Amino acid sequence: MKGKSYAARLGGLALALTFITTCLMGGTLARYTTEVTGTGSATVAKWSFKANEQTATFTDIDLASTAYTNIDKAGGNKIAPGTDGSFYIEIDGSGSEVAIDYTIAFSELSNKPANLKFYSDSGYSTEIADLTAYQDLKGEIAVDDLATPVKKMIYWKWDYGTAVKDVGPESGKEKMTFTITVTGTQKEPARPAT
């Protein structure tokens, strides 16, 4: 009876294994399977931004070298009451492939003679009351205009004959200085209208 019990168990186990194997093989063979692979890529737009032909630091702007009026001087390029001139900041996006927003900011203005004034026009009619707070030196360069540099002009004039005492060598403040920061930022792309 003991031998019958083992034989019955072994027979049942063999039947169960056959049933399981058949189900697994039938399930595996009974469906279609396809695997497709691909790749993704993106070409990144180029960025280029220069101020006065430089990408990091440009040469100091010396007002004396931009003067329209010559003065009698002994040694070196200098300005004095009666001189005037202009300088520009050139913004160049050539080589870029995206539109650019730009700003030009002045800061750390020191030792400015009281009668030296800055203007936004060549006729000296629109005075820039505070160069460091001037907000009109900003704009954008559209993608179609990137190959054409933008020049932003600043005009200056030191009036002659005004009775206000200005700084000078006797005060130890003969060097006027200021910092110019030019910032270019990619313009945020607009979504097309739907």
What's the pLDDT band for 192 if we cut at 50, 70, 90?
confident
Q: Do 73 and 110 fall within a single domain?
A: yes
What's the pLDDT band for 142 if we cut at 50, 70, 90?
very high
Q: Do 87 and 144 fall within a single domain?
A: yes
Q: Do 155 and 71 fall within a single domain?
A: yes
Q: What is the sign, positive or negative, of the torsion defined by CA atoms of 5, 7, 11, 17? A: positive
Nearest residue to 171 via CA among 130, 110, 82: 110
Q: What tokens does 35 get?
A: 């695997």
Does a structural domain hold residue 191?
no
Does a structural domain hold residue 44?
no
pTM of structure: 0.72
For residue 6, the enclosing domain spans 1-31
Does a structural domain hold residue 43?
no
Does a structural domain hold residue 134?
yes
Q: Do 25 and 82 fall within a single domain?
A: no
Between the CA of residue 152 and those of 51, 91, 94, 118, 180, what are the distances in Å?
A: 11, 8, 17, 13, 13
Does the pLDDT of residue 184 top 60, yes or no? yes
Q: Do 1 and 75 fall within a single domain?
A: no
